[in-house]
């Protein structure tokens, strides 16, 4: 089967980093470029972290672009308490030597989409600021995008507030622009990623692979998500962003249903909430493939299979 061309927009971030590792060791995908946004940590760190992971994966040839340093309207909030002040605590990777591409990530996103010979797939792993502004700047993009797969939202709970998930909460206005654009979309929310927990056995299996990527992934996971685990009494940190890449590689691991996704942008109490309604011809919102469940064991087998590749 031909490899699927994808663009990844991310805010590395530990789980973003593992998602990049998975994508860069999977022949089913061809990562054409990486655009970076402020999120888990500020943009100067997220863009350097993306380049650190590219170098770790021997992919310093990949173009990495820095996008927006803050949300469209709201002030930036970050998540160093989850990912560490570097954004990749535990990784201990050297400062990157590969250059950051000079073009702004929004312009790069537009250029990459329009230059693609076929409609391209976009994986978003962070706040949706870059994609939203690209869609505003160049509305014709939607004719050149095959699918957008979003890690974000919560169907029944949030991780920043009781109802709002981080990627959406950081930039709810950008999320509305993306969800209302009429793009073919798949949403992978906390309700799914919290089914994918890095239990001690899974962490040991990763660590036993012995490759540079698996060692860095295991070291980061040992630090990452302690806050989440304590908050929800989880058996291990949830692997949010790798779910997006796993979906693109092996969609049969996931089960989704159509729905419409509305984003709260006004209420101070429920800002950033994603409200999913059943499919209806009368909805003013475009349909979204809302993922409901995942084969977590299958996902970890895939992750270990790929991170075992040196
Ligand atoms: O809420 C989890 C999401 O927010 C993940 O993408 C994590 O990396 C952060 O960006
Ligand atoms: Ca992320």
Q: Where are the domains of the chain?
A: 4-307
Q: Is the pLDDT of residue 225 over 80?
A: no
pLDDT at 182: 96
- Phi, psi torsion values for 33, nearest 5 degrees: -165, 160
Q: Is the pLDDT of residue 2 over 90?
A: no
pLDDT at 20: 99
pLDDT at 223: 87
Identify the H or E element spanning 256.
strand 254-263
Q: Is the pLDDT of residue 266 over 90?
A: yes
Question: Parallel, antiparallel, or unpaired for β 145-151 and 185-188?
Answer: parallel
9, 39, 41, 234, best to mutate for ligand 1 pocket (most atoms within 8 Å of CB): 39
pLDDT at 273: 98
pLDDT at 228: 79
The closest-lying atom of ligand 1 relative to the alpha carbon of residue 193 is 2
| Catalytic hit among 83, 194, 240, 260 | 240
Distance 160 CA to ligand 2 centre (A): 14
Mean pLDDT throughout 267-278?
Answer: 97
The closest-lying atom of ligand 1 relative to the alpha carbon of residue 14 is 8
- The CATH number of the domain covering residues in 4-307: 3.90.245.10
CB atoms within 10 A of CB 122: 25
pTM score > 0.95 for this model? yes
> Pocket residues for ligand 1 (CB within 6 Å)?
11, 13, 15-16, 39-40, 125-126, 151, 159, 165-167, 240-241
Q: What does pLDDT average to over the chain?
A: 97
- CA distances to 8, 84, 140 from 87, in Å: 18, 5, 34
Q: Six-digit token pair at 138?
A: 């160049």
pLDDT at 231: 85
Cis status, amide bond into 13, omega within 30 of 0: yes
Mean pLDDT throughout 44-58?
Answer: 98
Contact 35, 104 (CB under 8 A): no
Contact 134, 109 (CB under 8 A): yes
């Amino acid at each position: 089967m031909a490899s699927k061309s994808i663009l990844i927009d991310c805010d590395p971030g530990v789980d973003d980093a593992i998602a990049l590792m998975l994508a860069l060791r999977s022949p089913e995908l061809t990562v054409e470029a990486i655009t970076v946004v402020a999120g888990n940590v500020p943009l100067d760190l997220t863009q350097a972290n993306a380049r650190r992971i590219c170098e770790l994966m021997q992919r310093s040839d990949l173009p990495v672009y820095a996008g927006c340093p803050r949300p469209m309207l709201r002030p930036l909030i970050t998540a160093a308490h989850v990912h560490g002040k570097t954004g990749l605590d535990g990784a201990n990777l050297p400062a990157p030597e590969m250059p950051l591409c000079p073009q702004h990530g929004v312009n790069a996103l537009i250029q990459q989409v329009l230059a693609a010979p076929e409609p391209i797939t976009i994986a978003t792993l962070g706040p949706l600021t870059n994609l939203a502004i690209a869609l505003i700047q160049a509305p014709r993009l939607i004719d050149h995008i095959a699918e957008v797969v979003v890690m974000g939202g919560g169907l029944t709970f949030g991780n920043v507030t009781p109802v709002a998930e981080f990627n959406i909460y950081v930039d709810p206005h950008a999320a509305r622009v993306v969800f209302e654009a009429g793009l073919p979309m798949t949403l992978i929310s906390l309700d799914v990623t919290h089914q994918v927990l890095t239990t001690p056995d899974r962490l040991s299996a990763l660590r036993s692979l012995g490759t540079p990527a698996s060692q860095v992934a295991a070291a980061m996971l040992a630090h990452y998500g302690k806050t989440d685990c304590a908050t929800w009494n989880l058996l291990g940190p949830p692997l949010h962003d790798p779910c997006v890449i796993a979906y693109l590689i092996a969609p049969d691991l996931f089960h989704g249903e159509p729905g419409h996704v509305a984003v709260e942008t006004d209420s101070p109490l429920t800002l950033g909430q994603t409200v999913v309604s059943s499919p209806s011809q009368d909805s003013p919102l475009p349909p979204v493939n809302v993922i409901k469940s995942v084969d977590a064991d299958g996902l970890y087998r895939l992750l270990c299979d790929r991170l075992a590749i040196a």
